[in-house]
Structure 1
Amino acid sequence: MSCSVQKEGTPKIKQGVFGSVTWVEGNMMPSPDAPKSAGKKGVEREIQIYEVVTFKDVKGEAPLFEKVIGKLVKTVKSNAKGFYECELPVGKYSVFTVEEGTKLFANNSDGEGKINSVKIENGKVVQLDIQINYKAAY
């Protein structure tokens, strides 16, 4: 199994996860008086994929965690346009981006407290887009 970055937005893996990583910053509220935000843009980031974790398995507060107490399975980088892909075995995983040097970002959880989780099934490729928005106001 391997992780790689392709130039195109189309995954070349046969089983695993792929998607885009975008950065969102500024005022996202619609207002005629407010300055427009820069909008979304694809960004290069290190992405860490762990065996699925819940809030009891992390240190710090969402969405920027200090530490994940779990098994790190893979690390991959998105390209300059934000595209990433990673081949993974069947299982459940939590996906984080590395921010500000050491913080781990994830802003989604399911009803069971699983953080930014993705389920990989045999022969399936799952799209998981990540929107890094901790510096955006809504």
Structure 2
Amino acid sequence: MAAYYDAVQQKVVHNKDNLQTKLNQYQDTPKWAGLAERKHRDYVGHILRIEERFGDFPIRALTDCRARAEFLSWRDEMARKSRRQAGCVFATFASILVWAYDRGLPNANPCERPGKLYRAKRSEAYGRMPMRQPSSK
């Protein structure tokens, strides 16, 4: 019983060298607070997806060349369901890593310049625009 009580009394030490720490820190910044309400809601959903998959990913592993391959593989996996959504989640991830990089950690951003999976066409968004008629002057 004494060993049990000793174990219960000990505080759990959380690893501060993982992506979850950076995700949490980002959400405590003025940049985060300044987001529009809609973007804030979108980012929360994106961050939850990042946390699920990479929350325990070690910061020191971001400099490993295999990290980029792992992240892009995850993006491609998400793209099977929705290319647009995969791009949005990955852009959020890249943005957070840029924020962290600007503050000294990590020493690399493996999400930098991933290329686009989805490109919206104006004709699809607004329907077919009529051709402009030449003026008769």
**TM-score after normalising by structure 2:** 0.24
**TM-score after normalising by structure 1:** 0.24
Structure number with the bigger relative contact order (C-alpha 8 A, sep ≥ 6) is 1
Higher helix share goes to which structure? 2
Larger Rg: 2
